[in-house]
Chain A
């Protein structure tokens, strides 16, 4: 249960990104809408100012059949507005300081009533006709400078964009804080559950019945831990019971045979039978120990590791007696830096021992034990100089109960603590490894592969 490359940021980053995107869209739409409405509003304001001004100017004139009379004291108006008065096509009044070409004002006057932006959009002109009854005698043209309006528009645009940016940053920070706060319990619970499952299988969150997402998660994790603990306990109880149930009758058989050997006077044949019984109980004990060890090893969550060279040397030492008896020399060649396997040492030894014992019985004079390191595994080779294994039997020798022809490689009829090749293969597989036989021109070659420590996780 190791976190690889996950720092609790995956979901948080995605949530934050979607919040930020939504906020950005909303703020952009709001800012754009605000500025459009403001623009339209300013435009209509300018128009109504012009129209009111023009009506006022028109009302101040006195138009008769003979001509247009200007007011005695002409209205100065606001500094931003200016007025032209045309009688027919003749300009009779003009503003003092306005940069608008009178010809342009005359053109607008000719189309009265009309409006137009002139001087590059800096001034808006609006004209109304001067009538006497229905006859048109002239026109009033009113101009307004648009600079204040565009100034207002620019200021509003800048302010609204700045405001939107500030809101975006504020919402982003708040969202990040909220999401981090909301997700923190999840990463803590995940870490706790992983740690408890390894070191403290009886710890629970104990938050009661689920009320929300967190208590539901705690409830679910508690359930998982319960099931893990109960299956661990079940396995441990099973192996303990199995061990107990088998060891007591074994103890009985051994004690009976020992008693008969020591306190009765058996014939030499009877003595041989009793000794064979004792030998068998020893074999059964070793097998039992191995199976229990394998069961416990399978339950080991801490990932025991061991030194491959040490295991090979230990096996060579254990098998020395048998090798001497058979007149065989065991040669160990191990790499200078001892590789580590992700399996307990006694399990490595129990996998290797049957192979070496098998070699001892079939070698003519020498067994080579080699250790090779590969990227993800460590390989142990057991090579003898015997007659070798027939090609068709290369895999069959690992079948449980395989009985080779008399004296053939892989025969499971072994004397001593040999457990047979079938058990060796099963043990290796339970540890994530493999045992196989390889064709060889110079005798039998059996290979054991076990996972290398640290290699399988990367």
Chain B
């Protein structure tokens, strides 16, 4: 059975040739043009692997990746990036990406990297939906039980990092790395302020998980 791929790429000719090439190479690709479109498709039926263009019209591909992880999607993510600066590549990994290729790419390289990711991937896991938060990378909101709260980009990345850790503790250093740009100077109390704000916003959502402090280590969403 061919591996099911979800692709988000906003440039129509490139999207079309990606689908055609990957199908010819034996994948089962479905392509969309927006972050939200991909998130909805992925939550309906988790794919085997995901290809995300970082520059999307309705959001940043890295935020989309965090939203996927927060939604319980564990399929490997390959970023297509037109930005090859070190900071861009690092932020791709920090947001939960597994690999990246720089545009323009050789389609054979994309195929080879996807195959490598699929070999290492644990396979499809249907998210159970319990205690889950829905992060919208286009609107930068978090929703649960029909209510939603607006987030700032930093709050979004911070919450995405916590939600993507699936109940495990995320260290303070890790959170700073994931929520702030590479090289930014973040003071300890800045992180505390953001966590406090997130806690207030989560309290307003019905039956939402809470951010627990693990002293001397970091935070955990429970």
Contacts and interface: CB of A to CB of B under 8 A. Distances in A.
A252 B16 CA distance: 9
Given A244-B55, A244-B82, A244-B83, A254 B21 contact: no
B103 interface: yes
A125 B80 CA distance: 117
A345 interface: no
B83 A256 contact: no
Contacts of B185: 200
How many residues of A sit at the interface, in one of the four size bands? 20 to 34
Interface string B70-84: 000000000010111
Contacts of B21: 255, 258-259, 262-263
Nearest to B15: A252
A259 B18 CA distance: 9
Given A200-B185, A243-B82, A244-B82, A254 B104 contact: yes
B14 A252 contact: yes
A249 interface: yes
A249 B10 CA distance: 11
Given A200-B185, A255-B14, A256-B13, A247 B24 contact: no
B104 A285 contact: yes
B104 A262 contact: no
Interface string B102-145: 11111110000000000000000000000000000000000000
B11 A255 contact: no
B20 A259 contact: yes
A259 B108 CA distance: 10
Given A248-B11, A262-B24, A254 B82 contact: no
Interface class of chain B by DSSP? mixed
B17 interface: yes
A309 interface: no
Interface in A225-283: 240, 243-244, 247-256, 258-259, 262-263, 281
Interface string A189-201: 0000000000010
Interface class of chain A by DSSP? helix
Contacts of B18: 255
Contacts of A259: 17, 20-21, 24, 107
A240 B87 CA distance: 12
Contact of A252 (B13, B24, B84): B13
A251 B18 CA distance: 10
Interface string A304-343: 0000000000000000000000000000000000000000
A281 B104 contact: yes
A263 B24 contact: yes
A253 B104 contact: yes
A430 B152 CA distance: 39
A252 B107 contact: no
A243, A255, A256, A285: most-surrounded residue (chain B CB, <10 A): A255
Given A200-B185, A247-B82, A258 B107 contact: yes
Nearest to B10: A248
Given A255-B18, A255-B21, A259-B17, A248 B103 contact: yes
A256 B107 CA distance: 10
A281 B55 CA distance: 21
B103 A250 contact: yes
A243 B185 CA distance: 27
A180 B59 CA distance: 54
A65 to B, nearest CB: 115
Interface in A23-44: none
B104 A247 contact: yes
Q: Which 5 A-B pairs have the closest CB atoms?
A: A251-B104, A247-B82, A244-B82, A251-B103, A247-B103
Interface of A: 200, 240, 243-244, 247-256, 258-259, 262-263, 281, 285, 289, 296
6 contacts: A248-B82, A251-B103, A254-B106, A255-B17, A255-B18, A256-B13
Given A248-B11, A258-B21, 19 more contacts: A200-B185, A243-B82, A247-B82, A247-B103, A248-B82, A248-B103, A250-B104, A251-B80, A252-B13, A252-B17, A254-B105, A255-B14, A255-B18, A258-B108, A259-B21, A262-B21, A262-B24, A263-B24, A285-B104
